[in-house]
Amino acid sequence: MASQAIIFRETKGSKGFFTLLAVLGVFLVLGAIAFFYAEHHGHHVTGMNNQTVWGLPHVFAIFLIVAASGALNVGSIGTVFSKKLYQPMGRLSALVAISLLIGGLIVLVLDLGHPDRLIIAMTHYNFKSIFAWNIILYNGFLALCGMYIWTMMDRKVKGFYKLAGFSAFTWRLILTTGTGSIFGFLVSRDFYNSAVMAPLFIVMSFAFGLAIFILVLHFAYKWTERELGEVVMNRLRNLLAVFICGVLLLELARHLTGLYIAQRLGVETFILRDGGIYTQLFWVGQILLGSLLPLGLIFCRKLANNRTALLLAAAFTILGGFAQLYVILIGGQAYPLTLFPGAEVSSGYFDGAINSYAPSIWELMLGVGGVALALVMVTIGVKVLRFLPDSLSDAMVDPLK
Amino acid sequence: MSQNRVDEYRRKFVMALGGTAAAVTVAQGFILREANAAGEVSSRPLDKAVTSDKRWGMLIDVTKLTDGGAGMVEACKKEHGWGNEADSDEAQKTHWARVVKVTDKLTKNSFSLPVMCQHCEQPPCVDVCPTGASMKRADGIVQVNKHLCIGCRYCMMACPYKARSFVHEALHDQKPYSPRGMGTVEACNMCIHRIDNGQLPACVEAAPDAVIFGDLNDPNSTLSKTLKDIGGKQIRADLNLNTGVRYHGI
């Protein structure tokens, strides 16, 4: 563990705490309304259909799930790689990870055609299904993060700190491999079936999870009037840049491979050039605003030590992440299945046509509800347990460098 | 439909396949096999488990389908009652089968064919289903266990043929032999209720001159022999799924 000088303390039950909960509560209620509405009427009230079967809720769910494993990284760097500077943030890192995962899973589950059959998903496993494996991986991740937090909070089990940290870190790598493989294993869709989806999702998780962690850390300290120095933030700032570059590298490899293989040229041309909203989301949302802008904000010399620039970089990374997942999920489904390579197909059921999808307000409400749930869990978590160090000022963390 | 009628349809199909001179030889061969063919859809006692002795499949001769398979699709729709959802939009309505027009980009050669669940030997939908709801029966029929389906739609993402539909609204007046339900996924089940009852699937009955149904495991079945004689192509054969539905003329 970190230096003894680090003191962890619960946040106070201030007016701000309850205001935050009230605001998040509104989004939770809206999410619940959306769920009950779609559950009662059926999915015809959503924008999803039999061509675009996964919609906006899945973008939110997968973003949160991917970000969850990434949020744990801050803790893992401290525990697994023994970087002392990161160790005081380990507890918060694991809390954010658990919260994001539950927020994502709730969206995923509530969007099922039969959320009432969750018990079936928990009791009937088809072990050839990566989805079934993911159910086990999610539950295991929650349990391991819980134990990791326990070893950080309870001196009696401090001896298991390294073991728990290693286990959680290994598990999270496998978990994100599993999430990426949900797409990687889809043999029939040219935009998905590739082993690169697993490492791509891992590096995406690094970036999204860290971006969220940076924002949570900053606002948790600001709103509780604790000190958060630039030493910590600059370390996270550089790390974020590395992760964004990692995502760009794997995306470059993925798209170049797609362009090289004639079979995939169609879908690549669609996404990169002819796809309308998907092309715009890719170039403007993911690449320009979601990657290059944050890198600019991080590396611009005039913005060194500028907290606002870092927060904006993190926020734009999150925005880019949503754009990226929207392009992967919805864009990948918008491009029609290839029934007969080398031929044009048409039918009364959208064969050969670009599939349309317009998200409904209900899907948006459900997705935002998941985000709100994750934030509520973090807010209450830091209030009731000692997750946050009293101070992460430069003076406090300097000896840990 | 009586079995004799089925046999008659098969005979007509086989007759039509051959040329003028070849027809005599081929037809004689097939007429001799009718005795075997008649037993292919014999009913199964309900207390007897389905075994892998049989693998049901069909051969669709696209050149014999004057309507591209629209009649087959209509028969399926009537049999199972899908596609009439009142609240769903066109993209949300269920489709167990559809007619697809295919035109080669270079040669402009064109044909139409009915596309439905291809009843793969290695079905991606079964592989990906987390609960095992998407399953392949021992006799090769791929279907959804409606009691286990949680409505995750992963099978729809995995199916190369867009053969599966998700029910987007509450349903009424369902066929007792073909239960369906809001929030679950469904697809062609080869009219499993008819096969178990010794009848041909509705679509096969609707296009008797163009479709042969039977046991792929039995080398002496009309289906197997016709496939051996004239071949039967798979859609997306490159995926190596070994489909139970084969096409001639594509």
Q: Give the number of other CB atoms < 10 A from CB of residue A204.
A: 31
Alpha carbon separation from A255 to A133, A317, B68 (Å, rounded): 28, 20, 38
* Residue A264 to chain B, least CA–CA distance (Å): 14
Q: Which secondary-structure segment (H or E) carries A61? A: helix A56-71
- Name the residue in chain B with its Cα closest to that of A344: B103
Please judge whether A343 and B104 are an interchain contact, meaning their C-beta atoms are less than 8 angstroms apart: yes
Among A37, A44, A105, the strongest candidate for a mutation testing the B interface, having the largest count of B CBs within 10 A, is A44
Query: How high is the pLDDT of residue B24?
Result: 39
Strands of chain B (E only): list them.
56-61, 97-104, 110-116, 134-136, 142-144, 165-166, 185-186, 211-215, 245-248
* Residue B85 to chain A, least CA–CA distance (Å): 10
Query: How high is the pLDDT of residue A400?
Result: 80
Domain boundaries, chain A: 8-241+360-400
Please judge whether B103 and A344 are an interchain contact, meaning their C-beta atoms are less than 8 angstroms apart: yes
Nearest to B166 among A50, A120, A125 (CB): A50
B101 close to A (CB below 8 A): yes
Among A58, A109, A117, A185, the strongest candidate for a mutation testing the B interface, having the largest count of B CBs within 10 A, is A117
**A contacts of B160 (beta carbons < 8 Å):** 187-188, 337, 339
Question: How does pLDDT run across B195-246, given as a tens digit for each residue?
Answer: 999 999 999 999 999 999 999 999 999 999 999 999 999 999 999 999 999 9
Q: What percent of chain A has pLDDT over 70?
A: 99
Nearest to B91 among A49, A115, A126 (CB): A49
Cα(B97)–Cα(A395) distance, rounded to whole angstroms?
A: 70
Nearest to A50 among B95, B100, B133 (CB): B95
Question: How does pLDDT run across A266-302, given as a tens digit for each residue?
Answer: 999 999 999 999 999 999 999 999 999 999 999 999 9
Beta bridge partners of B246: B59
Query: How high is the pLDDT of residue B7?
Result: 59
Least confident of A69-78, B3-12, B45-54: B3-12
**Strand ranges of the sheet holding B245-248, from the earlier edge strand across to the other edge:** B211-215, B56-61, B245-248
| DSSP for residue A171 | H
The answer to whether A208 and A239 have CB atoms below 8 angstroms apart is: no
Q: Which is nearest to B195 in space by CA: B214, B211, B222?
A: B214
Please judge whether B183 and A43 are an interchain contact, meaning their C-beta atoms are less than 8 angstroms apart: yes
- Across all residues in chain B, what is the average pLDDT? 87
- Across all residues in chain A, what is the average pLDDT? 96
Question: How does pLDDT run across B71-84, given as a tens digit for each residue?
Answer: 999 999 999 999 99
Residue B11 has pLDDT above 80, yes or no: no
> Quick one: tokens of A68?
């969850």
Residue B12 has pLDDT above 70, yes or no: no
Question: Would you tell me which residues 183-242 of chain A have a C-beta closer than 8 angstroms to some C-beta of chain B?
Answer: 185-189
Please judge whether B98 and A338 are an interchain contact, meaning their C-beta atoms are less than 8 angstroms apart: no
Cα(A233)–Cα(A220) distance, rounded to whole angstroms?
A: 13
Q: What is the CA radius of gyration of chain B?
A: 18
Question: How does pLDDT run across A141-187, given as a tens digit for each residue?
Answer: 999 999 999 999 999 999 999 999 999 999 999 999 999 999 999 99
Q: Which is nearest to A141 in space by CA: A187, A186, A94, A189?
A: A94
The answer to whether B18 and B28 have CB atoms below 8 angstroms apart is: no
- φ and ψ at B211, to 5 degrees? -125, 135
Nearest to A50 among B102, B130, B165 (CB): B165
B85 close to A (CB below 8 A): yes
Please judge whether A188 and B130 are an interchain contact, meaning their C-beta atoms are less than 8 angstroms apart: no
Q: Give the number of other CB atoms < 10 A from CB of residue A300.
A: 12
Beta bridge partners of B136: B142
pTM for the full predicted model: 0.92
Cα(B82)–Cα(A349) distance, rounded to whole angstroms?
A: 14
Q: Give the number of other CB atoms < 10 A from CB of residue A126.
A: 19
Cα(A179)–Cα(A192) distance, rounded to whole angstroms?
A: 12
Q: Give the number of other CB atoms < 10 A from CB of residue A357.
A: 23
Buried b (16+ CB within 10 A) or exposed e, A358-369: ebbebbbbbbbb
Question: How does pLDDT run across B153-178, given as a tens digit for each residue?
Answer: 999 999 999 999 999 999 998 999 99
Least confident of A51-65, A315-329, B2-16: B2-16
**Looking at residues A61-81, what average pLDDT do you find?**
97
Nearest to B184 among A114, A131, A188 (CB): A114
**Looking at residues A48-53, what average pLDDT do you find?**
97
Q: What percent of chain A has pLDDT over 90?
A: 94
**B contacts of A189 (beta carbons < 8 Å):** 157
The answer to whether A59 and A330 have CB atoms below 8 angstroms apart is: yes
Question: How does pLDDT run across A180-190, given as a tens digit for each residue?
Answer: 999 999 999 99
Q: Which secondary-structure segment (H or E) carries A347? A: strand A343-347
* Residue B99 to chain A, least CA–CA distance (Å): 6
SS3 for B247?
strand
Domains of chain B and CATH, by start? 3-248 (3.30.70.20)
What confidence tier does B20 reach under pLDDT thresholds 50, 70, 90? Answer: very low
Query: How high is the pLDDT of residue B29?
Result: 36
Cα(B56)–Cα(B120) distance, rounded to whole angstroms?
A: 11
Query: How high is the pLDDT of residue A112?
Result: 97
Question: How does pLDDT run across B100-131, given as a tens digit for each residue?
Answer: 999 999 999 999 999 999 999 999 999 999 99
Query: How high is the pLDDT of residue A13?
Result: 76
Cα(A280)–Cα(A283) distance, rounded to whole angstroms?
A: 5
- Name the residue in chain B with its Cα closest to that of A42: B169
**Upper half-sphere CA count for residue B142 (Cβ side, 13 Å):** 29
A125 close to B (CB below 8 A): yes
> Who wins on pLDDT, B128 or B35?
B128
Question: Would you tell me which residues 131-160 of chain B have a C-beta closer than 8 angstroms to some C-beta of chain A?
Answer: 131-133, 148-154, 156-160
Query: How high is the pLDDT of residue A26?
Result: 98
- Name the residue in chain B with its Cα closest to that of A345: B102
Query: How high is the pLDDT of residue B9?
Result: 55
**B contacts of A48 (beta carbons < 8 Å):** 92
* Residue B159 to chain A, least CA–CA distance (Å): 7
Query: How high is the pLDDT of residue A399?
Result: 81
* Residue A367 to chain B, least CA–CA distance (Å): 16
* Residue B207 to chain A, least CA–CA distance (Å): 20
Please judge whether A348 and B169 are an interchain contact, meaning their C-beta atoms are less than 8 angstroms apart: no
> Quick one: tokens of A91?
């507890």
- Name the residue in chain A with its Cα closest to that of B148: A120
**Looking at residues B12-36, what average pLDDT do you find?**
42
Question: How does pLDDT run across A223-259, given as a tens digit for each residue?
Answer: 999 999 999 999 999 999 999 999 999 999 999 999 9
**Looking at residues B182-203, what average pLDDT do you find?**
96
Please judge whether A113 and B127 are an interchain contact, meaning their C-beta atoms are less than 8 angstroms apart: no
In terms of phi and psi (left: phi > 0; alpha: psi -120 to 50; beta: otherwise), the region of B97 is beta
Please judge whether B185 and A338 are an interchain contact, meaning their C-beta atoms are less than 8 angstroms apart: no
> Quick one: tokens of A227?
């000190």
Query: How high is the pLDDT of residue A6?
Result: 85
Please judge whether A50 and B127 are an interchain contact, meaning their C-beta atoms are less than 8 angstroms apart: no
Nearest to A347 among B101, B129, B168 (CB): B101
Residue B25 has pLDDT above 70, yes or no: no
Least confident of A123-137, A205-219, B15-29: B15-29
Please judge whether B128 and A130 are an interchain contact, meaning their C-beta atoms are less than 8 angstroms apart: yes
| DSSP for residue A44 | G
Is it true that domain A8-241+360-400 has CATH number 1.20.1630?
yes
CA A231 to chain centre: 25
Alpha carbon separation from A261 to A83, A208, A264, A329 (Å, rounded): 42, 30, 5, 21
Reported ipTM exceeds the 0.90 cut: yes
Query: How high is the pLDDT of residue A81?
Result: 95
> Who wins on pLDDT, A13 or B180?
B180
Please judge whether A342 and B105 are an interchain contact, meaning their C-beta atoms are less than 8 angstroms apart: yes
> Who wins on pLDDT, A255 or B42?
A255
The answer to whether A160 and A151 have CB atoms below 8 angstroms apart is: yes
